[in-house]
């Protein structure tokens, strides 16, 4: 024991330091553990604060849905270069697709491009160049001549009928004279002018005359594809109508009314294009007896919503029971989506909007009952046109045959169709006169604000 104490006394510094070291170990562990918790808590709070700051910077990345029935893509995340680039790229793809669809739709509606050509349509252009939107008096007079087929110009409405191989039955007077001559020759051949026909001879001759008459009707039906004439076209001046005669009434020689005549003509072009699509067999138009649409009896067209003749706004007294009446126009609502109003039609398209206008058409045709769906399909393929109503009635084929209409052997019905035709403003507006735009509530650049009153009828520059 003494040697140990001696060593301790001789190495007292080492002993003291060893004791201190041993005492510091648990103390150091305790203190370091306490400091570790404090530092950890500080760092966690700092990290939390930084995270909250970053989370507060989150943005909502979205991709719009081109289809109204689809949901847009949405992703909420902090700024991220990879996400930004991906969404930017996808938005570019969607924008390009949407732009392409819009351009194709506009071109198709106007009659431009392969899709329009595939249904036999050509571009809708004014009958006279540079007459719209602000042509002078001489341009309006040239358009008057073009509409009426004056001064050597072809009548555009007759050209529509000819292009569809439309025509009238065999002329009744000429046919009656032909049959009377034939009967006289046959009577002379049988009796030599020396006696009357016997009852048996009379019956035989009547049968022969009937067959000859039917043959004349069949021959005429082989020369045309559909029965239609100028009287089949709109003629009710309460609505849209086809101008006829040597001159137009002076009240119609203004930019608004002349543009309306032009628009009416474009509607008719599409309707007869649909008849041609239905009646086409390969590259040719079928004869009446083989055609889907046998006869166009009548066509009536509504005025555009907000437009009336004489360059004035529509009559505020609207009768919804009249399919050709135009609903009161209202400024389009400030919304990205095109509004629909099912109070006016089953499609809702007659609601005021800034994208398109609707022209309603009532068309009565004699059509193959078995192939009526083919005609409806042809209407909807030809342009942005929709059959919204259809009434079918029986056809007295013997009564019609007596009037010269030969429909062939298949069963036919009389169909009265209500058709909505859609016209995109993206290409139409460039042709519209300012007063026409004003009545449609289309903003005219530079025009003074109105108090809601109807602008006066527009007179062409240079008119007296």
DSSP lists the bridge partners of residue 414 as 366, 393
Q: Is 302 left (phi over 0), alpha (psi -120 to 50) or beta?
A: beta
> What was the pLDDT predicted at 185?
75
pLDDT of 460 above 60: no
Q: For the ranges 22-26, 124-128, 340-344, which has the lowest average pLDDT?
A: 22-26
More confident residue, 416 or 306: 416
Return all residues near 140 (Cβ < 8 A) that are at least 6 apart: 131, 253, 254, 255, 258, 460, 463
Q: For 77-81, which contacts have Cβ atoms below 8 Å and span 24 or more sequence positions?
A: 78/54
What sign results for the dihedral spanned by CA atoms 73, 75, 79, 82?
negative
pLDDT digits (tens, 9 = 90+) for 215-232: 888 889 999 999 999 999
Residues in the chain: 464
**For residue range 231-254, what is the model confidence (pLDDT) as tens digits?**
999 998 888 999 999 999 998 999
448 or 346: which carries more pLDDT confidence? 346
Task: Give pLDDT, residue 57.
Answer: 62
As a whole number, mean pLDDT of residues 11-29 equals: 62
């Amino acid at each position: 024991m003494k040697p140990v104490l001696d060593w301790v006394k001789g190495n007292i510094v080492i002993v003291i330091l060893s004791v201190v070291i041993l005492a510091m170990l648990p103390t150091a562990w305790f203190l370091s553990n306490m400091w570790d918790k404090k530092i950890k808590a500080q760092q966690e709070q700092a990290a939390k604060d930084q995270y909250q700051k970053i989370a507060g910077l989150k943005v909502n990345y979205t991709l719009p849905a081109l289809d109204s029935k689809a949901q847009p893509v949405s992703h909420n995340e902090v700024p991220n270069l990879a996400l930004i680039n991906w969404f930017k790229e996808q938005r570019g793809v969607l924008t390009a697709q949407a732009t392409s669809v819009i351009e194709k739709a506009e071109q198709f509606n106007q009659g431009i491009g392969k899709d329009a050509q595939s249904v036999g349509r050509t571009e809708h252009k004014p009958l006279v160049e540079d007459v719209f939107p602000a042509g002078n008096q001489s341009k309006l007079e040239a358009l008057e001549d073009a509409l009426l087929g004056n001064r050597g110009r072809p009548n555009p409405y007759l050209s529509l009928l000819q292009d569809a191989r439309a025509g009238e039955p065999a002329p009744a007077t000429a046919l009656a004279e032909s049959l009377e001559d034939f009967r006289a020759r046959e009577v002379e051949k049988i009796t030599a002018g020396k006696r009357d026909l016997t009852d048996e001879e009379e019956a035989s001759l009547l049968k022969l005359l009937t067959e000859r008459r039917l043959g004349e009707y069949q021959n005429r039906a082989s020369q045309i594809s559909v029965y239609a004439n100028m009287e089949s076209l709109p003629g009710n001046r309460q609505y849209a109508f086809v101008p006829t005669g040597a001159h137009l009434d002076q009240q119609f020689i203004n930019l608004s009314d002349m543009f309306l005549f032009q628009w009416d003509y474009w509607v008719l072009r599409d309707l007869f294009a649909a008849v041609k699509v239905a009646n086409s067999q390969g590259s040719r138009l079928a004869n009446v007896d083989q055609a889907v649409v046998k006869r166009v009896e009548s066509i009536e067209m509504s005025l555009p919503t907000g437009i009336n003749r004489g360059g004035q706004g529509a009559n505020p007294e609207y009768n919804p029971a009249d399919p050709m009446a135009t609903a009161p126009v209202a400024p389009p609502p400030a919304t990205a989506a095109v509004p629909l109003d099912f109070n006016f039609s089953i499609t809702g398209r007659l609601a005021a909007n800034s994208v398109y206008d609707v022209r309603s058409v009532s068309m009565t045709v004699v059509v193959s009952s078995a192939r009526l769906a083919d005609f409806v399909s042809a209407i909807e393929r030809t342009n942005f046109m929709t059959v919204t109503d259809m009434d079918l009635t029986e056809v007295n084929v013997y009564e019609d045959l007596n009037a010269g209409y030969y429909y062939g052997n298949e069963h036919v019905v009389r169909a009265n169709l209500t058709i909505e035709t859609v016209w995109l403003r993206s290409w139409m507006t460039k042709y519209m006169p300012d007063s026409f735009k004003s009545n449609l509530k289309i903003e005219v650049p530079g025009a003074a604000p109105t108090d809601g009153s109807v602008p006066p009828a527009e007179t062409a520059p240079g008119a007296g």
